[in-house]
């Protein structure tokens, strides 16, 4: 009796006619956040961590399925999301290599280094922005799914809950999720500053 996140997620996939070749739901005992590993052609995996019958597990399930649906419906947006972080990592690594080449092998004009530093710094903001937009999208879809399907799914599993009595909890949980995302964005920016900081440290201390 009652449903947990996994059952709920599987029901949502059925409602959206997404079959098991396209997406499977896994659970894991862990304190880490749940995630969706999306595949354009293969089977996407939704990993629900610390899944339970609690309402927050239901809401998390809806959020992750929201990611799956959004990615499927807008592959371009998904690719932008995916490649932004790839390009950022690539520029950071290149910048770091240039700093090392400049120091030990061959002088590189300061202007060139500055352009790389600037790109990696500004791309970190863009990357943070793209991630937050992605999370907003998943939340919006999650609320739609819960509004449309939760009553039927709860009823189907003899679960006494319904959309009306989980609505407030769902909304505040999803809001908190976005807030956490925004707050953790500074980490990407700090990472993006690693090359310029390396450059400054090398030059200040004349290593």
Q: Which residues contact Zn ion (rule: CB under 5 A)?
A: 135, 138
Q: Please, what is the minimum distance in Å from the beta carbon of residue 64 to Zn ion?
A: 7
Q: Please, what is the minimum distance in Å from the beta carbon of residue 190 to Zn ion?
A: 22
By beta carbon distance, the residue nearest Zn ion is 138
Name which of 36 and 95 has its Cβ closer to Zn ion. 36
Cβ-contact 32, 11 below 8 angstroms = no
Cβ-contact 12, 145 below 8 angstroms = yes
Q: Among all chains, which residue has been given the structure tokens 């809401």? A: 59
Query: Residue 95: exposed, middle, or buried by beta-carbon count in 10 A (0-12, 13-18, 19+)?
Result: buried
CA atoms within 13 A on the CB side of 171: 6
Q: Please, what is the minimum distance in Å from the beta carbon of residue 92 to Zn ion?
A: 24
Q: How many CB atoms lie within 10 A of CB 145?
A: 23
Name which of 88 and 138 has its Cβ closer to Zn ion. 138
Name which of 138 and 196 has its Cβ closer to Zn ion. 138
Q: Please, what is the minimum distance in Å from the beta carbon of residue 182 to Zn ion?
A: 13
């Amino acid at each position: 009796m009652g449903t947990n996140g996994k059952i709920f997620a599987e029901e949502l996939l059925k409602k959206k006619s997404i079959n098991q070749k396209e997406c499977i739901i896994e659970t894991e005992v862990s304190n880490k956040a749940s995630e969706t590993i999306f595949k354009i052609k293969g089977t996407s995996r939704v990993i629900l961590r610390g899944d339970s019958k609690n309402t927050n597990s239901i809401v998390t399930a809806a959020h992750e399925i929201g990611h799956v649906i959004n990615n499927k419906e807008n592959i371009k947006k998904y690719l932008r999301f995916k490649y932004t972080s790839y390009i950022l990592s690539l520029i950071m690594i290149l910048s770091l290599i240039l700093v090392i080449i400049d120091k030990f092998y061959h002088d590189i004009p300061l202007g060139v280094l500055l352009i790389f530093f600037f790109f990696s710094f500004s791309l970190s903001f863009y990357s943070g922005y793209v991630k937050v937009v992605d999370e907003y999208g998943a939340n919006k879809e999650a609320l739609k799914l819960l509004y449309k399907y939760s009553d039927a799914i709860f009823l189907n599993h003899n679960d006494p809950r319904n959309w009306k009595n989980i609505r407030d909890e769902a909304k505040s949980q999803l809001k908190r999720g976005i807030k956490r995302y925004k707050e953790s964005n500074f980490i990407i920016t700090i990472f993006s500053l690693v090359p310029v900081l390396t450059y400054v440290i090398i030059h200040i201390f004349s290593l």
